[in-house]
Amino acid sequence: MNYTPVISPGEAARLHAASLAVLSRTGIKIDHPEVRDLLLSAGAWQDDEDRILIPAHLVHEALEKARHSSASIQLYTRDGEPSIELTPGNTYFGPGSDALEIRDIHSGEIRRATLADVDTNVTIADAIGFDFMMTMALPADEQVYPRVYARLVQHTARPAVVTASGFTDMRQTYRIAEIVAGGAAALRARPFLVAYVEPISPLHFDEEGMAKLLFMAENEYPTLFAAGANCGATAPVTMAGAITQANAEFLGGLVVATLKNERARLVSGANTSSMDMRTSGVCYGSPEWGRTVAIYAGLGEFYGLPSWGFAGGSDAEEPNAQAGMEAYESILLALQSRSTLVHDMGYLKRGYLYDPRMLVLAGMMVKRARKLLAPLDLSPNALAADAIDDVARSRDGVDNFPSHEHTYTNFRSALWMPPAYWERGQGLEASLPELLTDVVKEILSTHRPPALAADKVAAINDYLDSLT
C-alpha cells in the first residue's frame, strides 16, 4: 500500500547526519574485546575515556553491505515454506514477548505467567492470524527463554521474534530452532525466527549483547538491534533527540555486524516511547511511540532496509475504551508509515500483561485498519457501470441494489464485515469483554495449530533435559 511518508527524505537525511555526528563525537562504550578490535582495525579510534568513535565512512560501508544482505529478508514457516518477506513497504503484525502477568480467561484474575500460558497465548495468536509470533509470557522458570521458545514452536508454524537475557539463552534457543530446521545450514537457508538483540542506552554495547550480535552475524541469522531509547528516560526527552541516539546505536551495531560478516542480516529501527513523568514508567499507549515507529519506518526506507515497529498495545489494564483508542491509533500509524515488523499487538499494562481478549480485539483492529486504508479499486467490476445501468433501467425486474447479483457477489470483499461481537445498534445481550471471553474460549476449544513432528519434539525435550 502506498501512503504519504511521515518524514521526508530531507528530514531522514538530517536525522542520519545527526546520528553520524553522535557516533564520531561521543562514540560507544564497548565491553567486548573482539568488537573493539573489529572497529579499531577498520578505522575507528579510541578517545581518552576509552570510548570507540566511529567515523561516517564505516557507517556508509556497512549500509552498502546491508542493502545487499538485508534489503529483503525472506522468513519461512517452521516447516520451511515461504512466509513473510521483510522489505520496506510490507507491514506485518505480531504480538509481544515476555509478559510477566496474564489475565486468566477462566477466573478473570491477573496472575503470574506460567509456561502453559505460552501455549494458550500462541494458540490464540495463531488462530487470529497474526503474521509472526513472539513468546508472549515470561514464567519464573530455570532456562526460561529456551523453554518458552520450545513451547512456542510446538504451537505455531509461523515465524517468530525471540528474546534472551544473555548469550547462553540465545544460543540455546537457536539450538532448538536448528533441531526443528534440521541443522544450522538449513536454518540459515530458510530462517523462521529473528533474534531481538539490543544495546544498553545510552550508547553502551555490553559484552552479552555483543556476543549475541556476533553470533547472529556469523551465522547470517536475521537480527534486530533495537535500542530501548525512551524519551526522558534512557534518551533525550525530545523525540528528535531520542531518535538520533537510538539510530546511532542501531548504526553502530550494523557496523559491528557487517565487519564480522558482510552478509549479516539486520532489521533497522528501535523502540522509542516516552517515560511517564508522574510514575517513571515507560508508556505503551503514548502517541510518542506510535509517531517514532513511523519515523523509524521512514529512516528504514531512507536506508533501503526493513524496519522494526510497535502497535496495538495500551497502558490500560482492561480491553476498554482507552485500550481501544491507543491500540488502534498506533495500528493506523504503523500501516500508514509502512513499518515492517510490528510487534506488541494486544499488550496491556505497559507491557506487563497479556489479556487474551485484547489479542482478539487487536487482530480485528488490524483487519479494520487495512480495510480503511486499502487503495481504491478502480477495476471495471468495482466501478460497476453494468450494475448501475441494470438497476436504473429496472432490467430483468431488478430495481434495487440489494437484490442485484453484483451486490451478492461482491459485498463480502467490498465492505468491512464486523465480527459477531461488534455492536451496530442491534442490542447485543452481553458486554464486549464478555463476548470476547466467549471468542477466546471458542478458539481454545477448536483451534489446533499444525503439530510439530514427534521426532523433533522428542529431540527438543532431550536437549532441554540436558540443560538441567
Q: Looking at residue 307, what DSSP letter applies?
A: B
pLDDT for residue 9 is more than 90: yes
pLDDT at 454 (0 to 100): 97
pLDDT for residue 3 is more than 60: no
Q: Give the number of other CB atoms < 10 A from CB of residue 116.
A: 12
What is the band of 18 on the pLDDT scale with cuts at 50, 70, 90?
very high
User: Looking at residues 232-255, what average pLDDT do you find?
Assistant: 98
What is the band of 468 on the pLDDT scale with cuts at 50, 70, 90?
confident
pLDDT at 399 (0 to 100): 96
pLDDT for residue 2 is more than 90: no
pLDDT at 425 (0 to 100): 81
User: Looking at residues 300-322, what average pLDDT do you find?
Assistant: 97
Instruction: List Cβ<8 Å contacts ≥24 apart for 321-327.
Output: 322/285, 323/285, 323/348, 323/358, 323/361, 324/361, 324/365, 326/284, 326/285, 326/286, 327/285, 327/358, 327/361, 327/362, 327/365
Q: Using a pLDDT cut of 90, give the percent of the chain over it.
A: 96
87/306 Cα distance (integer angstroms)? 5
252/154 Cα distance (integer angstroms)? 35
User: Looking at residues 237-254, what average pLDDT do you find?
Assistant: 98
What is the band of 51 on the pLDDT scale with cuts at 50, 70, 90?
very high
pLDDT at 4 (0 to 100): 55
326/324 Cα distance (integer angstroms)? 6
DSSP string, 339-398: -SEEEEETEEGGGTEE-HHHHHHHHHHHHHHHHHHPPPP-SHHHHTHHHHHHHHTTGGG-
CB proximity list for 411: less than 8 A, separation 6 or greater = none
User: Looking at residues 126-142, what average pLDDT do you find?
Assistant: 92
pLDDT at 393 (0 to 100): 97
Is residue 300 a contact partner of residue 340, using CB atoms and an 8 Å limit?
Answer: yes
**Edge-to-edge strands, sheet with 341-345:** 92-95, 341-345, 308-310
pLDDT at 86 (0 to 100): 98
pLDDT at 6 (0 to 100): 79
pLDDT at 327 (0 to 100): 98
3-state SS assignment for residue 34: helix
User: Looking at residues 90-119, what average pLDDT do you find?
Assistant: 96
What is the band of 5 on the pLDDT scale with cuts at 50, 70, 90?
low
pLDDT at 141 (0 to 100): 80
pLDDT for residue 28 is more than 60: yes
67-373, CATH topology level? TIM Barrel (3.20.20)
Q: What is the mean pLDDT of the chain?
A: 96
pLDDT in tens, 248-301: 999 999 999 999 999 999 999 999 999 999 999 999 999 999 999 999 999 999
pLDDT for residue 187 is more than 80: yes
pLDDT for residue 135 is more than 90: no
More confidently predicted of 261 and 423: 261
pLDDT at 297 (0 to 100): 97
Range(s) within the chain of domains with CATH label 3.20.20.480: 67-373
180/184 Cα distance (integer angstroms)? 10
